[in-house]
Amino acid sequence: MGVMVKSSVNIGLKTGYSVLVTVAAGFVGIHISAALRCLGDYVLGLYNFNSYYGPTLKRARQHVWKKSGIFIVEGDIKDTGLLNKLFELVLDMQCRNPKSYTHSNIVGFVIVLEVCKNANPQPAIVWASSSSVYGLNTEVPFSEEDRTDFIRFNEEAGEEIVHTYNHIYGLSLTGLRFFTVYGQWGALDTAEKSTGSGGRKKGVAQFRIFNLGNTSPVPVSELVSILEKFLKVKAIRRVMKLPRIGDVPFTHAKVSLAQREFGVEEVC
């Protein structure tokens, strides 16, 4: 595996980034990996190939992108030993295990942050959050300055955790609150370097949160009608009540920060 890992990230590269993409065989992960590779960066993927969202499709993505120079390691993000090994292979880093664990669905994120904050030099991090952090807010469009709440614990807890790692350890962190999962973005290209080294902060580090979404919400029913038109097939519609917990009733993104920072007309 070591040879394939080193080949995937092109050890000794003089230009571009060497990027570790987690959940790399998922929809967002595989498209981010492909986009980075097209830009001249080098990508190493990590995924556990669980049964959520069709493992057959994700296996197919793994094999297809391997031919393009993107190697996806099969493993769990909570496997500290594996993460340390990957960092040692790519960056020759020695890292310590995290000392505490949180909710099971964000354990992996904490471990990634631990490995990164102990690294020398520390990498910059771009992580995926969600519009779900806006919870039951009724004022639209949702702005990055709005309050967030705990209707979706994973996303909200993740954002609270990164604040700590940025403030205490000097990690450069950019959060993307996805409303939709397609469109232009360039957060990696504008990320500044982390300021810490070996777990010690040496200066103020960059911390940013951006909405990435559509400024004109499209109802699911309209999307279904569009698909019917282009596929020339009448959909069988099952209208279900929104779950009482775990989902927000609507989303509507204010994307002026992303437009100003990334220089794009629309983020959708």
Which CATH number characterizes residue 143's domain?
Answer: 3.40.50.720
In-domain check, residue 89: yes
In-domain check, residue 3: no
In-domain check, residue 96: yes
pLDDT value at residue 96: 35
pLDDT digits (tens, 9 = 90+) for 40-59: 888 888 888 877 667 788 88
Residue 71's domain spans which residues?
12-185+195-219+251-262
- Per the model's pLDDT, the better-predicted residue between 104 and 219 turns out to be 219
Exposed, middle or buried by CB within 10 Å (0-12, 13-18, 19+), for 198? middle
pLDDT value at residue 224: 92
CA pair distance 142, 134, nearest whole angstrom: 7
| pLDDT > 90? residue 187 | no
pLDDT digits (tens, 9 = 90+) for 257-267: 888 888 766 55
In-domain check, residue 233: no
In-domain check, residue 245: no
pLDDT digits (tens, 9 = 90+) for 106-115: 777 888 888 8
Bridge partners, residue 175, by sequence: 127, 209
In-domain check, residue 45: yes
Omega before residue 123 within 30° of 0, cis: no
What's the pTM?
A: 0.57
Q: Based on C-alpha coordinates, what's the Rg of the chain?
A: 19
Q: What is the DSSP letter of 141?
A: S
pLDDT digits (tens, 9 = 90+) for 125-181: 988 887 777 766 667 777 777 666 544 445 556 777 888 899 999 999 998 888 765
Inter-residue long-range contacts of 5-9, CB under 8 Å, 24+ positions, other chains counted: 5/44, 5/71, 5/73, 5/86, 5/89, 5/90, 6/89, 6/90, 7/69, 7/71, 8/42, 8/43, 8/44, 8/45, 8/69, 8/70, 8/71, 9/42, 9/43, 9/44, 9/90
Which residues are within 8 A (CB) of 140 and not within 5 positions of it... i.e. 6 or more apart? 250, 252
Q: What are the C-alpha distances in Å from 262 to residues 106, 189, 265, 267?
A: 28, 9, 9, 10
Q: Which amino acid is at 125?
A: I
Domain count within the chain: 1
228-244 average pLDDT score: 86
In-domain check, residue 239: no
CA pair distance 251, 261, nearest whole angstrom: 22
SS percent in the chain: helix, strand, coil, step 5: 40, 15, 50
In-domain check, residue 127: yes
pLDDT value at residue 102: 43
pLDDT > 90: what percent of the chain?
A: 12
